[in-house]
Amino acid sequence: MREKANLTFWQLWNISFGFFGVQIAYSLQSANISRIFATLGADPHNLSYFWILPPLMGILVQPIVGSLSDRTWCRFGRRIPYLFIGSIVAIIVMCLLPNAGSFHFTIGGAMIFGLIALMFLDTSINMAMQPFKMLVGDMVNEKQKAKAYSIQSFLCNAGSLVGYLFPFIFTWIGISNIAAEGVIPDSVKYSFYVGAAILILCVLFTTFKVKEMPPKEYAEFHGIDPTKKKEKGSGNWIKLLKNAPNAFWTVGLVQFFCWAAFMYMWTYTNGAIADTVWNTNDVTSEGYQVAGNWVGVLFAVQAIGSVLWALFIPKFRSLKSAYVISLLLGAIGFASVFFIHDQYLLFISFLLIGIAWAAMLALPFTILTNSLSGEHMGTYLGLFNGTICLPQIIAAACGGLLLKAVGGAQVNMFIVAGVLLVLGALSVTFIKEKR
C-alpha cells in the first residue's frame, strides 16, 4: 500500500474551506430555530420536539451519502458532487425558512411550513457537510489527520462565529429586530439571505480547488485490490457495523453524552438568558428578541473559544488527554450558566463550552479514521454520524419531560448538560487508540 504524501498547509486548508460556508448555514439554524418557532407560537415545553427533525434527517441522510459516494466517480470527483447538490438545496431553503410567518398562514400552517423547511434545510446541510469529513479521510495521511481536522474545526468555528453574529450585526446597523406577532424579524431574515450567498461561494471555491484521487490511485493509497471481487453483502450496513473497529463504539459512547448536552444548549439558551438576564418569558417582548440576538453573540464567543482551543489540540501528546480535559472544562462552562446573571460574564461560560466543542469536532474523527481502512471510509463515517444524531433525537424527545423534572426553568437544563459532559469525559477512558 502506497503512503500518502504530506500535504501543505494550504492544501489542507482548501480541502475544508467550503466547510466555512456550510457552518454558517448550520450556525444560523442552531442559534435561531428555537427563536423562530417560539416567535411563531410554540410552547417552551414543546421546543425540544422541533429539534428532533434535524438529527433525524442527519441519521438518515449521512450514511446514504457516505455509502453512495464510496461507489461514485465522475469528472467532479467522489465526494464533491454531493456537497455541491446539498449546498444548492440549502441555499433555496435558507431563503424560505425565515419567512414562515410572512405568508399569512394560520399559526398551525406557519408551524407546518417551518417544519417542512427545517427538514429540507437540515437534509441539505447534512448532505453538504459529510463530504468534508470524508475528503480528509480520503486524502490526508495518518500523521496529518489531527492537523487536518483541527483546520476543519477552525473553519467550522470561524463560520459559526460569522453566522451567530449576523442578527446582532444587522440589528446594530439599523435593520429591525422586532416584527408583528408571529412574524420573524428582518434581522433574522437578512442573516439567512447573506448566509446563503456565502455558502455557495465557499462551496464553489472547494469544488474548483480540490481534485480528488481517481479510483485507481485511491485504491493504491488505501490498500484496496481493484481486481478483487467484493464479498456478497460487503456493503451491507449491518455487516459493516458488526465488523466496526473498537474505536467506532467507544468514541460513539462519548459522542452520546456530548451531543445530548449541546442539544439542550441549542434548545434552551434563548429562553434561559431571556429569563435570567432580561427577566422576561414573553416571546413578543423586545427583551426576548434582544436576548435572541445575544444568544448569537454568546455562541460566537463559544466559536472563538473553539477556534483558539483547536490550535492547541495537536500539541497534546495524547488525544485522549486532550479529549478529557476539553470535556471537563466544557462541563464547568455549562454549569456556570446557572449561576451567572450578567450578560457579559456569560462570555466566560461560553468560552469554556467552546473548548469542549473544539474537541468534539476534531478528535472523534481523528481517532476513528486512524482505525479504518479506506475501502468503506465514507460509509463508516456516514454510519458514525449516528453517534451524533441519535443522542440528539433522544435528548430532544426527553427534553420536555426533563424540563418539568428539573423545575420548569430553562436555565436548569444547563446543569443537566454539565453532568452529561462529565459522563462523556469518563467514557473517554474506554477508547483504545489505533494508528
Residue 33 lies in a domain: yes
End-to-end CA, the chain: 15
CA distances for 311 relative to 90, 137, 150, 151, 330, angstroms: 30, 20, 7, 8, 17
Local structure of 173: helix, strand or coil: coil
| Cα distance between residue 375 and residue 225, in whole Å | 10
| pLDDT for 352 | 97
**Is residue 378 packed enough to be buried (19+ CB in 10 Å), middle (13-18) or exposed (0-12)?**
buried
- Model confidence at 414: pLDDT above 80: yes
Q: Which amino acid is at 336?
A: S
> pLDDT tens across 258-310, in order?
999 999 998 899 889 999 999 888 877 888 888 888 988 998 899 889 888 88
CB 134 within 8 A of CB 66: yes
Based on the structure, what is the number of domains in the chain? 1
Q: At what angle do helices 377-384 and 246-276 cross, to 10 degrees?
A: 40
**How is residue 128 written as a grid cell?**
453538504
CB 343 within 8 A of CB 337: no
| Cα distance between residue 381 and residue 398, in whole Å | 27
Can you give the CATH number for the domain in which 307 is found?
1.20.1250.20
Residue 174 lies in a domain: yes
CA distances for 82 relative to 88, 211, 378, angstroms: 10, 14, 12
CB 94 within 8 A of CB 28: yes
> pLDDT tens across 219-234, in order?
776 666 655 555 544 4
Q: 77 forms bridges with which residues in the sheet? A: 74
Residue-by-residue DSSP string for 38-105: HHHT--GGGHHHHTSHHHHHHHHHHHHHHHHHHT--BTTBSSHHHHHHHHHHHHHHHHHGGGTTSS--
> pLDDT tens across 318-359, in order?
888 999 999 999 999 999 999 999 999 999 999 999 999 989
Q: Which amino acid is at 164?
A: Y
Residue 31 lies in a domain: yes
Residue 164 lies in a domain: yes
| Full residue range of the structural domain in which residue 277 is found | 10-224+244-430
| pLDDT for 36 | 86
pLDDT, the chain, mean:
85
Q: Where are the alpha helices (DSSP H) in 97-185?
A: 107-139, 142-172
| pLDDT for 228 | 58
Residue 5 lies in a domain: no
Residue 229 lies in a domain: no
> pLDDT tens across 113-146, in order?
888 888 888 888 878 887 887 888 788 887 888 7
Other Cβ atoms less than 10 A from the Cβ of 317: the count is 6
Query: Percentage of the chain with pLDDT > 70?
Result: 94
CB proximity list for 192: less than 8 A, separation 6 or greater: 28, 94, 95, 97, 98
The b-or-e profile of 139-150 (16+ CB within 10 A means b, else e) is: bbeeebbbbbbb
For residue 5, the 8-state DSSP code is P
> Between residues 398 and 284, which one has the greater pLDDT?
398
Residue-by-residue DSSP string for 405-426: HTTS-GGGHHHHHHHHHHHHHH
Q: 74 forms bridges with which residues in the sheet? A: 77
Q: What is the pTM of this model?
A: 0.73
**How is residue 259 written as a grid cell?**
451531543
pLDDT band at 102 (very low <50, low <70, confident <90, very high): confident
Residue 3 lies in a domain: no
CB proximity list for 290: less than 8 A, separation 6 or greater: 177, 278
| Cα distance between residue 29 and residue 35, in whole Å | 10
Residue 60 lies in a domain: yes
